Structure 1
Amino acid sequence: MERKLELYEKKILKDKEFPIQLIVNKCQSKGKYFSAHWHEQIELHYVVRGKTVIRLEQEETVADKGALVIVNSNVLHEGYCRGGEMEVMVVIFDMEDFSQEFADKNIIFRPLISGDDEISRIMLRIHEEYKRKEIGYQLVCKGELLKLVTYLARNDAVEMLSEEDLLKRRKKLERLNTVYQYIENHYAEPITNRELAEMVHLSEGRFCHIFKESAGASPLQYINEIRLNKAMKLLKKGDFTATQAAETVGFLDYNHFGRMFRKYFGCTPLEARKKV
């Protein structure tokens, strides 16, 4: 049975007293540390330590220590570690739970903010409270987030979308879900742009344009990224040789696989296997 890939991530924040999801992402190895997905909620990534790369649709956003990446609602996003120690504080919330006034305006925030002392103060306070989890920490985090939302709305709002524009963005992502799911289930097989375009009833040229606009890469580049990440997982298990891993994920030319692997991960397949 094929595994269903849900790029759409339905986040249900049931606690009315604390309608926030807090996550701390830590990573040292080069590669993807969270996969592509989208949702209606706003997602904040504050870099506490090191550097992260967040792909927002077609744009790669590089954020250093002290920077805040804002993932606006209905934006496909995924995260990469460039290697070295990295720590990122993630805050996910629905604007309606904090301000109906702001929610009704459908505010689009600037995706990258660096060097803002007020934002750093607020996010580091949230990070510290979340780490300690002392009595009342949720109240403190909620209060700090309220301050941040107001600050961002006053200083870093770049656009306000109509309901029609919001609906168009959502429909585009929903349409491509079928394609992403097919790639996840058949990445080891030959896949053509025409085959994918036919699934969503688009011309090949139009499909490639929409796909790259959404995923930030051409269909072939995206498929090869999937294959490379799957190959790395196989090599980390230690049960596959480099050649076997390449063949299993769909690379027929081992030399081509080796070059792509080294460019993507910064090491050869053999080096990755030896690390295990």
Structure 2
Amino acid sequence: MKLAGAGDAIPREKVLLDKRYPFFIAETIGVNVHYQKLHWHDVLEINYIKSGCGYYIINGKTFEFRQGDILLINSNDLHCAYEVRDLVILVVEFDMSWFAGSLRYDPEILSPFKDMGVHFTNLLDRTSPYIGELRALLQSMQEEHEREQRSYVSMVHAALLRFLSCVNRHFRSEEASKCRPEIGSMQLEKVRRVIHAMEERVAHPWTLEELAASAYLSPSRFSDIFRRAVGTPPLEYLIQLRLEHALALLETTPLKISDIAMECGFRSLSNFNHLFRKHVGMSPKHARIRSKANP
């Protein structure tokens, strides 16, 4: 099986933001299954780790983060997140067009994203004396956004402008290019396409050899690239996709559990029950009962 053409690669997620106020900010507790999948989107993103710890895989590079850290995620960054303990993240997303006017008098204002991997890294230096200022600005954005007092849009825009200016001035590094991931853009594109094929045909009896051949790579080379890009081997990732699909069917359809197992590519009910309990932490029957109790 060959991969689809260039136009059929995994599309960037379209994040819908108000054109007059292209900004989103909210706290997330833990990491849901969606963000454990490799994805990319069309907005710029800032993550402030309010508590706990975990790690991001961004363009094949692993960044371990802990309370107080700040990460920048570009609009073309392939990334997924994993929680280790007690994770609360303040997520900020915004459209770069919001700063089109600012670029006229400060063409470097978006450099922290445009020069990512050259002069900036995704994880900002936690030892910098200016990291506290960035945390305070993010907290200010959250408060203004939630209170919606008069002129709050201007206040949020001003705080975000200061945030970007501070990063551009104090977090630029000539050493950043040395930290570039070993996985190239063409290899990441192959991973995107393979994941898209797996998601489109989640019940297909994929083998490692078939997945590798679809990317025109040997099984060992493909496994190495996939693991470094996604953080887990390809067939384990396939199991995660199948279990995610199964959980959605359990919560939204009256299908029998045995039928759901077959629908999601599991060849035996006992294997499905075992893997579901191992990865989800409960039996499929319990998951269905819980979803009905908490609609």
Give the CA RMSD over aligned residues.
3.9
* 1:8 pairs with 2:12: yes
- Of 86, 90, 93, which aligns to 1:91? 93
Contact 2:44/2:75 (8 A) holds in 1: yes
Deviations 1:166-206 (A, max 9, x none): 9x844333333321221111111101122122223222222
Aligned length: 268
* 1:37 pairs with 2:55: no
Contact 1:110/1:157 (8 A) holds in 2: no
SS at match of 1:89: strand
In structure 2, the partner of 1:275 is 290
SS at match of 1:251: coil
223-232 vs 130-139, which deviates more? 130-139
Task: Give distance in 1, aligned partners of 2:46 and 2:146.
Answer: 17
Task: Give distance in 1, aligned partners of 2:285 and 2:85.
Answer: 18
- Structure number having the greater strand percentage: 1
- Of 90, 108, 111, which aligns to 2:120? 108
Uncovered stretches (5+) of structure 1, i.e. residues with no partner: none
Uncovered stretches (5+) of structure 2, i.e. residues with no partner: none
Contact 2:203/2:264 (8 A) holds in 1: yes
Contact 1:42/1:71 (8 A) holds in 2: yes
TM-score calculated relative to the size of structure 1: 0.76
How far off is 1:243 after superposition? 2.9
Contact 1:234/1:240 (8 A) holds in 2: yes
Task: Give distance in 2, aligned partners of 1:80 and 1:233.
Answer: 20
Deviations 1:55-101 (A, max 9, x none): 43556656565443332453311345679895633234549856533
In the TM superposition, 1:199-210 aligns within 5 A as: 199-210=214-225
- Of 247, 257, 262, which aligns to 1:242? 257
- Specify whether residues 11 and 230 from structure 1 end up closer, same or farther in structure 2 by C-alpha distance, changes over 3 A only: closer
Deviations 1:21-42 (A, max 9, x none): 32425457x7414343225754
Task: Give distance in 2, aligned partners of 1:92 and 1:173.
Answer: 24
- Of 130, 137, 145, which aligns to 2:160? 145
Contact 1:42/1:94 (8 A) holds in 2: yes
* 1:120 pairs with 2:135: yes
Aligned-residue identity in percent: 24
Task: Give distance in 2, aligned partners of 1:274 and 1:90.
Answer: 34
SS at match of 2:243: helix
- Specify whether residues 82 and 161 from structure 1 end up closer, same or farther in structure 2 by C-alpha distance, changes over 3 A only: closer
In the TM superposition, 1:1-276 aligns within 5 A as: 6-9=10-13, 20-24=22-26, 26=28, 31-34=32-35, 35-39=37-41, 42-48=44-50, 54-58=56-60, 66-72=68-74, 74-79=76-81, 86=88, 88-94=90-96, 97=100, 100-101=107-108, 102=111, 103=114, 106-111=118-123, 116-153=131-168, 154-155=170-171, 157=173, 159-161=175-177, 169-237=184-252, 239-276=254-291
- Specify whether residues 78 and 218 from structure 1 end up closer, same or farther in structure 2 by C-alpha distance, changes over 3 A only: same
How far off is 1:236 after superposition? 1.2
Task: Give distance in 1, aligned partners of 2:287 and 2:188.
Answer: 34
SS at match of 1:188: coil
- Specify whether residues 239 and 275 from structure 1 end up closer, same or farther in structure 2 by C-alpha distance, changes over 3 A only: same
